Amino acid sequence: MDKYKVVVTGPIMPAALALLEQQCEVRQWTEVQPPRLGQLAEWLKDAEGLFVSANVAVNEELLDVAPKLRVIAQAAVGYDNIDVQACTQRKIPFANTPGVLVETTADLAFGLLLTAARRIHESWDWVRAGKWQPGSRFPLGVDLYGKTLGIVGMGAIGAAVAKRAQTSGMKVIYYNRRPRADAAALHVEYRNFETLLAEADFIIVLTPLTPETRGMFGANEFEKMKPTAYFINVARGAIVDTDALRNALASNKIAYAALDVTDPEPLPASHPLLQLTNLLIVPHIGSATTECRNRMALLAAENMLLGLAGKPMLTCVNKEVNYIV
């Protein structure tokens, strides 16, 4: 049997590559810089499968140069880089990787909250700089116990963060477009967006980036938060107006921010955000553990092989075309 032709747009965990290679002729982009469309075009001409790691925009322009494409699998849960409607119009099923990164990302989200509240990262810098001297005192942090966490975007990751917060004695409120039917079982309370902004001591953003959520946090929203509020974003940078966040932090309208995602990404070393001291930034590492990246890559590879064989993919987004006619 001829092997399927698959293009992989970036790094892939070895086990997933080995799985793909059993049935596919794989062309993998291995440069450090993500590929531009022109650099992939030759490979895409006869590609049947596209394995994306959120580093490439899958839009009409790309689909136009990939006439034989039948399946797209992405090793990421967020898919703001994919024009799903364009895929559906061309009857190309697209799958992401929900579920397998829930606990890992929740650990990072709650870890950022705790690290920021207790200034764990700054205190280590302080010790290393030799400032731990007789009589010296590191500045005080804030408690989590008894505080209110507001989760914006209460999906599976939100529920996993809520569990962690509740274990630390926090009350959890949330905002979603629609309240969750199982909120009582999760011991979380719904608030409208404005009320959540005003009530929360800590806010964690977990909502997907869509046209509706782009720029959802701007000057008005930071204005409504408590001056003691901690703002944590582990979703997508563009949900936040970066200038408005910088101004809110610089003028102490809010106390602190901890970001796993930024806009732009990567953040240039000269970026004005980096001049602030009341924030902590990590380089988009929400799912970055060996175990989690293996689960994501293997699920994406399984989806790819199922799709290429004309079988429904496990976690297809555009379910209406989750088969090959």
**Phi, psi angles (nearest 5°) of residue 271:** -65, 135
Q: Can you tell me which residue has the tokens 């699998």?
A: 73
Rule CB under 6 A: is residue 238 a binding residue for ligand 8YV?
Answer: no
Q: How many helices (H) and strands (E) does the chain have?
A: 12, 12
Q: Cα separation of 281 and 7, whole Å?
A: 32
Rule CB under 6 A: is residue 101 a binding residue for ligand 8YV?
Answer: yes
Rule CB under 6 A: is residue 104 a binding residue for ligand 8YV?
Answer: no
Among 23, 115, 287, 322, interactor with ligand 8YV by CB under 6 A: 287
Residue 158 vs 170, nearer CB to ligand 8YV: 158
Token readout for 144 is 């989590």
Binding mask 196-235 for ligand 8YV (x = CB under 6 A): ----------------------------------------
Which positions ≥6 away from 234 have C-beta within 8 Å? 105, 108, 109, 112, 157, 204, 205, 206, 260, 261, 286
Residue 265 annotated to the active site: yes
* DSSP character at residue 94: E
Rule CB under 6 A: is residue 282 a binding residue for ligand 8YV?
Answer: no
Rule CB under 6 A: is residue 112 a binding residue for ligand 8YV?
Answer: no
State the CB neighbour count (10 A cutoff) for residue 283: 12
Q: Cα separation of 94 and 97, whole Å?
A: 10
Q: Which residues pair with 281 in a beta bridge?
A: 259
Nearest partner of 114 among 190, 193, 204, judged by Cα: 204
Which amino acid is present at 162?
Answer: A
Judged by CB under 6 A, the chain residues 3 through 62 that form the site for ligand 8YV are 53-54
Residue 111 vs 286, nearer CB to ligand 8YV: 286
Stretch that binds ligand 8YV, among 73-81, 131-139, 158-166, 268-276 (CB under 6 A): 73-81
Q: Cα separation of 190 and 155, whole Å?
A: 13
Are 202 and 117 a contacting pair, CB within 8 Å? yes
Q: How many CA atoms, within 13 angstroms, populate the side-chain half-sphere of residue 297?
A: 21
Among 13, 26, 50, 75, interactor with ligand 8YV by CB under 6 A: 75
Judged by CB under 6 A, the chain residues 184 through 203 that form the site for ligand 8YV are none
Residue 54 vs 254, nearer CB to ligand 8YV: 54
Rule CB under 6 A: is residue 78 a binding residue for ligand 8YV?
Answer: yes
Residue 113 vs 117, nearer CB to ligand 8YV: 113
Residues in contact with ligand 8YV, total (CB under 6 A)? Answer: 9
* Helix segments in 45-155, DSSP class H: 60-64, 84-89, 102-118, 120-128
Provide the minimum distance between the beta carbon of 234 and ligand 8YV in the complex, in angstroms, as a whole number. Answer: 8
Residue 236 annotated to the active site: yes
Q: Catalytic residue among 191, 284, 293, 295, which? A: 284
Residue 150 vs 237, nearer CB to ligand 8YV: 237
Q: Which residues are designated catalytic?
A: 236, 265, 284
Which positions touch ligand 8YV (CB under 6 A)?
53-54, 75-78, 101, 286-287
